[in-house]
Amino acid sequence: MISTNLATVVAKIRKSCERTGRNPGEVRIMAVTKSVPVSAILEAKDAGLVLFGENRAQEARQKVSEGVFKSASICMIGHLQTNKASLAVRTFDEVHSIDSVRIADAVARYASRYRQDPLPVLMEVNAGRDPAKYGVAPEEAFALARHITSLPTLRLKGMMTVAPIGGGPEKARECFRTLRALRDEMVRLGIDPGCMKELSMGMSGDFDIAVEEGATIVRLGTSLFGPRPSLFGQTP
């Protein structure tokens, strides 16, 4: 089933790229595996998926300890609190939910203790200004990016956002377009383009729109694994 679902997703990404003149190779698929059984994750790996996202550090730690993500990359995509920073650094290959100076400093501190190389991170931006969502406000993103790039144990790779709940396709497109424009503006203001390479945006209900607006990573759960309990009111 997962291989069939993946083929459908890949075809949809290809069509979105054709509409906008993009290379489909620029878009990576992240399989979101919160509450997904080990057997399904292994099936996803067999289908060729190598990038995975988890929302909860403790659940991810258990799966990592069982070797579920061996030969793949596992990224933290859920909201991160400072008291989970140590666990996140020791569990994940990347953290995609840095949304404040406080979180950045906590993650950097533990990265210096537990990692030999800088930890790749993405900033989470509340590009849709949804009060139900986490993320740094767009007008504060530049300052946070500057701070992260000053921390030697972190390596900023780009930004992540989630479209507003219940906003429909138009609001989703506006959100994704805002993130892309913010990326361009920060590069113009002096942020190294290499630190803004990734735009992680788009989930199962709107990833085709996100690809049209420049996503380099789409985070998919239901599209790959089928329906399961909603994540924070919205299913990846």
Q: In the predicted model, is pLDDT for residue 230 greater than 50?
A: no
Q: Is the dihedral of CA 3, 4, 9, 15 positive or negative?
A: positive
2-10+26-225: in CATH 3.20.20.10 = yes
Q: In the predicted model, is pLDDT for residue 11 greater than 60?
A: yes
Give per-residue burial for 201-226: e unless 16+ CB within 10 Å, then b.
bbbbbbbbbbbbbbbbbbbbbbbbbe
Mean pLDDT along residues 56-62: 96
Q: In the predicted model, is pLDDT for residue 231 greater than 60?
A: no
Domain ranges of the chain: 2-10+26-225
Mean pLDDT along residues 191-204: 98
96-135 pLDDT, tens per residue? 999 999 999 999 999 999 999 999 999 999 999 999 999 9
What 8-state DSSP symbol labels residue 78?
A: S
Give per-residue burial for 81-116: e unless 16+ CB within 10 Å, then b.
eeebbbbbbebbebbbbbbbeebbbbbbbbbeeeee
Mean pLDDT along residues 185-210: 97
Q: In the predicted model, is pLDDT for residue 166 greater than 90?
A: no
Mean pLDDT along residues 28-32: 98
Show Cβ contacts of residue 230 under 8 Å, excluding neighbours closer than 6 positions: none
133-151 pLDDT, tens per residue? 999 999 999 999 999 999 9
Decide if 189 contacts 196 (C-beta within 8 A). no
Mean pLDDT along residues 2-7: 97
What pLDDT does residue 92 have? Answer: 98
Q: pTM score, two decimals?
A: 0.94
Decide if 66 contacts 91 (C-beta within 8 A). no
Distance of alpha carbon 218 from the chain centroid:
7
If one counts every other C-beta atom within 10 angstroms of the C-beta of residue 7, the result is 11
The Cα 179–Cα 163 span in angstroms is: 10
What pLDDT does residue 233 have? Answer: 40
Decide if 47 contacts 224 (C-beta within 8 A). no
The secondary structure of 38-70 as a DSSP string is HHHHHHHHHTT--EEEES-HHHHHHHHHTTTTT
Selection from 93, 92, 90, 89 nearest residue 103 by Cα: 89
Decide if 171 contacts 163 (C-beta within 8 A). yes
The secondary structure of 93-139 as a DSSP string is SEEEEE-SHHHHHHHHHHHHHH-SSPEEEEEEB-TT--TTS-SB-GG
